[in-house]
Structure 1
């Protein structure tokens, strides 16, 4: 446990408190320990060196029994060998670190050492983009190869599995650093990092394409031909198609020559310099086969493959991502291509990978979502279920994976887009910038969202999701009463209709149409569109939520509760969680379950960005539940920003039957919310 990751980023080569020379541990390449400028002789035992690396990176103390199982193949005295190995590590690090021992656990604190792997973890956690270019150059110059290059242990399968995972992890971060430098340095300076990137990812089509284009621009023709020939031989050995790289070289040589700049100039991005949008793209994802760790022989078509096939199919039905087919991902997996490398070969933005473990009556699925460019783990979870009905369990796990992956990617893309200059956004980024503003639920941000959705559609007029977003901003204007209702209803319908004409299989397009029709009071047509959206994609949380929203007011309240609960299961951290809870509260009020309604309403109103009508639901539910003081306080809170807010505003937004309107008026009168309606 080498100190905190954050502190590792700031560690420099200063002497420790004893005045001794600083200790540097290098793991990105062959394992090396330096005291000052002098190398320290490493223990001859490979197991001591492996134990040192494992403990240095362990996030918490490790049990002795685990270490014995990890490194020793049933020795006569595993704990004795462990004690001997720890004594060797004490001599190696001296005063620069400390081995901790508490109970049956062991930890290694390297607070007096600079550890390059921990530094790289800190950079990944903070984000490569926020680091300065000089700092990243210094870090990249220290890359001497992949993690513990050339190191392996015989008859230690658990340790070697950990080693493979660490190499994959650090190769991804190293690649992200090198690619960032190539993107942001002038060509003369970026060339050496491009070559290091190619050496680190020899099967990466993207990096070889960039290297070939650079060699062509610089008229280094013979070098380019030699590099292309070497890559072709390598790709053919691995059974990969080299034709795209041949095309890259042919096209690059056909371009007019352009001399390399005399001086390297760092720029933010090509689009920021010329002031035009970059080439549009849509997010892409590959789902790799899950490993079956149950101990049974690996057979195609088992539970793990069935789950992956289900996840791929469901993600494709969402229509928000370009999803690589199962045939491609399984073919790469069969050639033992790691998930991060497969992501680069397939040129996708995200990769899903995982494992399953079965035991009698139980199934555990471990899954993670990684960003290919940076190697960062965006989301990870362990899903554990008892197997009463295997098909239902797989269905539930598939639901959770698909909904979480879609939600996490949308969050990442929204947050990334908000940091970019508006004139540098492509259609995908402009759409997610629009989503960021749309989910703020105020007039100013809603107007900004409209502009970004319109920008996305100017770049890519075939982007159905951007039409759905644009329709929702018009829906919000009508629903919130921010602008004249009739015109906004027409605009919402028009944008939804354009989205459907582009892609009538997109669940978001049918959702947009259903919402717009609800504004017009076309109840039956609304339900048909919303039911189509969830039929097209059973994992579409927003479709389930909107069905709950509509049923909570004018339909079956029990159906509303079931739909709202399903949307929360699919997307438990959704930006519209307040709406899901608010719909539940509305349905519960209509059923006379006032205490439950009040609990749901108060929770809904406390969510970030909950708007005035959600607080109105909470106010009425509290009144129904007899919690009158709380209801009046909640109403007073609404009126701090909307002084005239009353029942008329609430009823103009909702579509309640006359009997239900009379019910809500009774609750409003008890707390002074009835403003003459």
Structure 2
């Protein structure tokens, strides 16, 4: 066993040779440790200060204090685990057991591929939820990161338990214990209830099974959920149908052809925001939010008339959601006390009555319409991102052969955002599966185009062939739905690959015209302008895309595009700062690291630049400036600048 262990799944703890190591009571210190443990690259000090401190008197001084305490807890005379170089911080976790990293590695390998012993070891690592009991006041960036990690590790925990229940002997005590824990974590998951009923039936405990069925029916009824499939499953089990007994993770009866091809997109109702008077600014704001969400075409949005009519009955959001038969309900309030405008909003998942996102926006109403427009941007983008995250995580937990088109599409998104060649190929498979089930799914065509674009951009395949496939898939997306911003976004990127800049910009501008809240459209505009268009426009589009989607999986690209625009403006120190932020993102790939290396070199920060170059060459030993230049479409002046930076650090 490693002499040093770090537990993040449960209350944070450090042990050395089995002996607990005391940490100061500071919650910020614990948050810093957890963030650095999961960071795949060294993290800039400015990023850590922004993440954890709400503009204190001396954020860097507080960071230095936290780092000194971490050194006391982690370092030994023969090994320094807290590493600082220039303006970055990293942890050396070699020969150290970190429960969260073990689970992450297993999750990316694929829980379904693991053997029983590995699954059993993973199950023992879950001593509670990620960083149990640790939240920070006035640290929204950290708390958003924490929420995302808890969802991720919670999903993996459920997947491990489900797989153990499937693979262990059904009647053994361990399988029963894992089944109980699975039900505790996912009380509304039908497969967990089916598994328990089948287990009780095999042991002859029919009475106990009947009691559980009655309790489950009451539970489902309290949430107005359809209990008929579980009742049918129990009847099949009692009749000892072999198929029913073995199908723990599958429905009792397979879907019909009509059900398989029918799109089952997520649905949303935006209830009228509460205001001082009916018909006032709050109602207009609600109408604006509904219109913007509908333009995204991400999911089905209930029309304004239906929600306003239902709101007159003054019923709870969950009940409104059930009556409208939607998956999510957004509610909010607009208040205008003296000198301030306050807008609060909540997004509720109807099935579980769980609040999946909530936020309060407070502004000075110097121009009330401009302020409401800005807040509306944030609300629309956040609702879209949160629903996508929930749907993606749900799809991740389902057996691949049971996914419908909507779920297969979101499973593809999960793999797509990993940004490795193997994950990109898996994403392509799921997008193709979604299109088999629903050939009219425009966003699935756009996702398929994205995977071919990545293959071309990252040189994971023949660039000409993959460019042609990206263009073909984008064309199919436009044929299916010419008003979908994602279709024009995919076509704009495909045209950029083909060197057709004017056509690319035209398609991307159409994407953001169709939906001004489409963050990826603004990012793609920044990407194209940063190389050979208007660098000032690139900076503006980058900032707007990050405003719309501050935690986007492609945030590294938004930051990297801004860095390249600063290079073209001769602002090398600014370019280096933005490039470092891009490289610090957890899913940043080698091309983003290359942007950082070149920008740092141009800024004269050669030691940092050489460190990034060395990191790139660990995976790409022959990487040179020619590879970097060939990846993009720079104007001659910009190409000359980047080649100059490459020569300074031995990449020329």
Distance 2:458 2:554 in 1: 15
1:118-154 Cα deviation digits (max 9, x unpaired): xxxx99x968968899899999x99xxxxxxxxxxxx
Find out whether 1:393 has 2:371 as its counterpart: yes
For 1:199-598, what aligned pairs fall within 5 Å after superposition? 200=222, 204=224, 207=226, 261-262=238-239, 267-271=247-251, 279=260, 280-292=263-275, 296=276, 298-299=277-278, 301-598=279-576
Distance 2:545 2:403 in 1: 31
Distance 1:587 1:611 in 2: 19
Distance 1:613 1:434 in 2: 22
The answer to whether the Cα contact below 8 Å between 1:440 and 1:609 also exists between their aligned partners in 2 is: yes
Distance 2:650 2:158 in 1: 53
When residues 182 and 623 of structure 1 are mapped into structure 2, their CA distance, relative to the original with a 3 A threshold, is same
Distance 1:641 1:259 in 2: 53
When residues 441 and 177 of structure 1 are mapped into structure 2, their CA distance, relative to the original with a 3 A threshold, is closer
When residues 448 and 126 of structure 1 are mapped into structure 2, their CA distance, relative to the original with a 3 A threshold, is closer
Shift of residue 334, structure 1, vs aligned partner: 1.0
Q: Aligned residues, how many? A: 475
Residue in 1 aligned with 2:101?
Answer: none
The TM-score normalised by the length of structure 1 is 0.64
Q: Say which SS state the counterpart of residue 640 (structure 1) adopts.
A: helix
Distance 2:617 2:462 in 1: 22
Distance 1:381 1:333 in 2: 21
Distance 2:598 2:340 in 1: 45
The answer to whether the Cα contact below 8 Å between 2:179 and 2:195 also exists between their aligned partners in 1 is: no
Shift of residue 576, structure 1, vs aligned partner: 0.5
1:209-253 Cα deviation digits (max 9, x unpaired): x55x999999xxxxxxxxxxxxxxxxxxxxxxxxxxxxxxxxxxx
Distance 1:192 1:664 in 2: 69
Distance 2:621 2:461 in 1: 18
Distance 1:325 1:182 in 2: 37
Shift of residue 261, structure 1, vs aligned partner: 3.5
1:324-344 Cα deviation digits (max 9, x unpaired): 112222222211221011112
The TM-score normalised by the length of structure 2 is 0.67
Shift of residue 267, structure 1, vs aligned partner: 4.9
1:388-446 Cα deviation digits (max 9, x unpaired): 11110110111000101111111222222222211111111111111111111111111
* RMSD over equivalenced CA pairs, Å: 3.5
When residues 178 and 331 of structure 1 are mapped into structure 2, their CA distance, relative to the original with a 3 A threshold, is farther
Shift of residue 196, structure 1, vs aligned partner: 2.3
When residues 552 and 135 of structure 1 are mapped into structure 2, their CA distance, relative to the original with a 3 A threshold, is same
Distance 2:361 2:624 in 1: 45
The answer to whether the Cα contact below 8 Å between 2:191 and 2:250 also exists between their aligned partners in 1 is: no
* Structure 2 residue corresponding to 1:606, chosen from 574, 584, 592: 584
Distance 2:355 2:509 in 1: 34
1:516-573 Cα deviation digits (max 9, x unpaired): 0000111111011000000000000000000000000010000000000000000000
Shift of residue 592, structure 1, vs aligned partner: 0.7
Moved more, 579-588 or 649-658: 649-658
Distance 2:317 2:549 in 1: 25
Distance 1:359 1:135 in 2: 54
The answer to whether the Cα contact below 8 Å between 1:272 and 1:421 also exists between their aligned partners in 2 is: no
Residue in 2 aligned with 1:65?
Answer: none
The answer to whether the Cα contact below 8 Å between 1:446 and 1:473 also exists between their aligned partners in 2 is: yes
The answer to whether the Cα contact below 8 Å between 2:342 and 2:362 also exists between their aligned partners in 1 is: yes
Shift of residue 347, structure 1, vs aligned partner: 1.8
Listed as ranges, the gaps of 5+ residues in structure 1 are 1-5, 8-121, 143-172, 219-257
